[in-house]
Amino acid sequence: MPDRRSLRRAGTVIALAGCLTSGLVLGACGDEGETAPSVKEAADGAAALERALDVTRGKRTAAFTFSVRSENVPRGQVGIEASGGGRIDFPRERSTYRMRYDEAPALEPGTTLDFFSDRAVTFTRPAGRGLFRREKPSIVANGPADSLKYLGTDSIDVRRVGADTVAGRSCTRYAAKLDYARIRRRVPAARRVEFDRQTQGVRTVPFTVCIDAGDVLREYVAEVRPPGGGDAVLRVAIRFSRVGSAERIPRLRASQKAR
């Protein structure tokens, strides 16, 4: 069974911001030079993304699957390969999901964990066994339901980049970046040194979303790269299904929590 520190490090990977955390995400992040969209492109893209987030959250619930995979990890470092899925309850800002790690720092291959996020509070346990233990609060949103808000408040340079298909659904793909300077401003002053240490100079993280004809968010994909170039990359891909028809998520009962 992994120790508590390993569980905390493992849990942070699912954060949609993608690279705010530990050695699980290659230690640092950055973007490649790209031409910024025009003012009109950015305004139209931002409006489309905001509308999709409002519509998706308005559906109240969704199921999701995800994968996290590192490639070209420098010699001597351990990458990460993980996958899983679960459900989101948007009004309650809750999510429950299971994650299997085939490779990750400080975890045995095949380690599978259950996560339960209630707003900014996250609980973990070995998959299907024992009581949930409350984790130390992260610097920023950690659970999927809580983390989605960053796409609406901290995205820049949003623009349409073409059509695509996700799980058989036609959708429009938009590219954008998460602006970490905006996120940092909301971090409590007492934890900003910690934030700077963990992000190691990151400024932005590029991502794409795919939005269907009903303005529902169907996919989110982020690519995290170390600053200064190189071939190492961490890809985080999340797909949404059963939007509006997944089960609601009740809060954890006292009998489900470790004291």
Q: Chunked in runs of 10, what are the mean pLDDT values of the chain (259 residues)? A: 40 36 33 71 92 96 92 83 94 93 89 90 93 86 76 92 96 94 88 81 86 97 73 87 97 94
pLDDT of residue 34: 61
What the chain holds in terms of domains, given with CATH numbers, is: 4-256 (2.50.20.20)
pLDDT of residue 132: 97
pLDDT of residue 29: 39
pLDDT of residue 226: 65
pLDDT of residue 259: 85
pLDDT of residue 225: 74
pLDDT of residue 227: 66
pLDDT of residue 3: 41
- Residue 245: strand, helix, or coil: coil
- Which among 198, 184, 116 is positioned nearest to 153, based on CA atoms? 184
DSSP 8-state assignment for residue 106: T
> How far lies 164's CA from each of 43, 44, 209, in Å?
21, 19, 10
Sequential DSSP letters for the chain: ---HHHHHHHHGGG-TT-SSSSGGGTT-------PPPPHHHHHHHHHHHHHHHHHHHHT-EEEEEEEEEEESPPTT----EEEEEEEEETTTTEEEEEEEEEE-TTS-TTEEEEEEEETTEEEEEETTSS-BEEPPPPSS--SHHHHTHHHHHSEEEEEEEEEEEETTEEEEEEEEEEEHHHHHHTS-GGGHHHHHHHHTT--EEEEEEEEETTS-EEEEEEEE--TT--S-EEEEEEEEESTTTSPP-PPPPGGGB--
> How far lies 17's CA from each of 23, 51, 133, 166, in Å?
15, 19, 23, 21
pLDDT of residue 214: 97
Answer for the pair 44, 160: CB distance below 8 angstroms, yes or no. Answer: yes
